[in-house]
A and B are shown apart, each in its own frame.
Chain A
């Protein structure tokens, strides 16, 4: 009987960003404040 060499399906890689990236983004969002002044917008990063 002929051997069947079926191609193995590659392991599905977990396509998720790292937790650190997510937490950085959430912290960045919390720290960023946009200040409006006479039609001008200023970004301020507060730690």
Chain B
């Protein structure tokens, strides 16, 4: 005896009239198509499962509320619901702040790590110790003015008061200190670059 295939439209109408088994037939009949359709868009089993479930929840609610009016087109209707939910899923994901560096603007052009890396911090230490050594070579009066100006951040007025010389003398000592340091650097080929 040939088994008679009940059409979707009939099953839908039976379901609306309270036949729960009709829904089971509909779900089992179309589950593979709908599931594969969703999976082909999202490529994730868990998300597919969620969207599949949401699709049928929507189907069930619509049918039970008696709002379904596309008889004979059950599968395309369910597919459209699934499609809309897939779009919703992607929209929702786009709203999440995501880092995208594919465009012309690169965030790294405005953001950088200001801290020095290991190599640079070693170089910095070396440069600083070289400078200190050169300063030690300076005559005492020039060295004092330079130390007060650079390391203690004193003004020339303060330096002149502290050392008991005029501002012009302090300025002159500073000038000679720098000239002498440059000389030492050039003579010894010291590289002071960071």
Write the residues of chain A forming the contact surface with B, with a CB cutoff of 8 angstroms.
15-18, 21-22, 24-26, 28-30, 32-34, 41, 43
Mostly, the B contact residues are helix
CA distance A15 to B27 in the complex (A): 14
CA distance A24 to B50 in the complex (A): 12
Q: Which of B23, B39, B49 contacts A26 (CB 8 A)?
A: B23
Q: With CB as the reference atom, state the residue of chain B lying closest to A22.
A: B27
Write the residues of chain B forming the contact surface with A, with a CB cutoff of 8 angstroms.
20, 23-24, 27-28, 31-32, 35-36, 39, 48-49, 52-53, 56-57, 60-61, 64-66
A18 to chain B, nearest CB (A): 6
**Number of A-B residue pairs with CB-CB distance less than 8 Å in the complex they form:** 50
CA distance A40 to B163 in the complex (A): 95
A17 contacts which chain B residues (CB < 8 A)?
31, 35, 48-49, 52-53
A32 contacts which chain B residues (CB < 8 A)?
60-61, 64
